[in-house]
Structure 1
Amino acid sequence: MNKQDEIERVKRQELELALPAFDEAVAFAIGTAIRERALAEGLSLVVDLRTFDRQLFFAATPGTNLDNTEWVRRKINVVRRFQRSSYRMVLERGEEPLPPQNGVDPADYVIAGGGFPIRVPGAGIIGTLTISGLPGRSDHGVAVDALCDHLGKARADYALPEPAK
């Protein structure tokens, strides 16, 4: 799969992995499932689910630290400002800091995978599901897997292919 095909796959993920509703109960269900997976697989990660005005779920597994929480904050800012997953930004722009012309401070924005937009039909993008602790592509994959599981969709239909070695 070439880069443009990956971008199209991520756009499809963003559109089709919309939640029919998003509230505290949905955030708890998704966040808890991610935390349980992380513990079962020995993954060190932070998970955050929120609307843009309020955090609804947060968990950190062993091996994470304050840096992970800061990466989450910066990824959330990218999703909110650019209305797309932070991993799509990586694919479209690379992982270089945003140029000053964008009017953003690198201390507050990071181009790295793991921030995924929470979309609700009729409302648009209202928040984020954000993961930090793994390589960015894997952070993104954890978010996509969790949304697929929650929505009853096959992970394989939305997963990105394994990167070439």
Structure 2
Amino acid sequence: MDKQNYTKINETILKQEEMLVFPHFSNKDAWDLGCFLVNKVYESNESLAVAIRKLNGTMVFYHAVGNTNQNNQNWMNRKFNTVCLMERSSLGAWASSFLTGEKISTHGLSDSDYVLCGGGFPIRLKTGEIVAVLTVSNFPHQLDHDFIVKGLKEWLKMEDVPDLDLTLSYE
């Protein structure tokens, strides 16, 4: 994929991150949002693990649907770490890495603890503060991100948030 496509993807993700913000977010909100997303997974008859963690690492919601397993938890841990460090979605960090040439190792970090792929999204308040991270795992990484965005759009009742162009390559 050429730089122009990465730029387009990155701009779309930045807009998603800017728009998908919460007026407040409590442990009860995490439970309600998590249950909402898990019900979407069950309705689609898919397998996906869904987790919401506070920035201090406290798990406030977790549910594994279908054939998800410990490996999905490992991926979600790495996505969580990436979102916390980069303060943006893990797919946004992935797109930025191609535009800047930076890798996980550029920052002196380990691939066993961080990952540049979709499936992690910051729970940001309207004040700009990130208070939690939503992670999912089991779809191809661009579809993990797309599931999160579509779920948050519906949850927050924000139809004008742009969708990713899934016809582009996300390798």
Could you tell me whether the CA contact under 8 Å between 2:55 and 2:132 is conserved in 1? yes
Aligned residues, how many? Answer: 162
1:126 counterpart (124, 131, 138): 131
Matched-pair identity in %: 30
Of residues 21-30 and 74-83 in structure 1, the stretch that sits farther from structure 2 once superposed is: 21-30
1:159 counterpart = 2:135: no
Counterparts of 1:14-163 in structure 2, within 5 Å, are 14-53=17-56, 54-94=58-98, 98-99=104-105, 101-122=106-127, 124-154=129-159, 157-163=161-167
Deviation, structure 1 residue 78: 0.2
Of residues 53-62 and 71-80 in structure 1, the stretch that sits farther from structure 2 once superposed is: 53-62
Structure 2 alignment gaps of length 5 or more: none
Deviation, structure 1 residue 162: 2.4
CA RMSD of aligned residues (A): 1.8
Q: Deviations over 1:35-76 (max 9, x none)?
A: 111111122111111211221111100110100000000000
TM-score, with structure 2 as normaliser:
0.88
User: How far, CA to CA, are the matches of 2:113 and 2:166 in structure 1?
Assistant: 30
Could you tell me whether the CA contact under 8 Å between 1:97 and 1:110 is conserved in 2? no
Deviation, structure 1 residue 24: 1.5
1:11 counterpart = 2:14: yes
Letter in 2 for 1:98: I
User: How far, CA to CA, are the matches of 1:107 and 1:80 in structure 2?
Assistant: 15
Cα 1:15–1:157 change in 2 (3 A) is closer
TM-score, with structure 1 as normaliser:
0.91
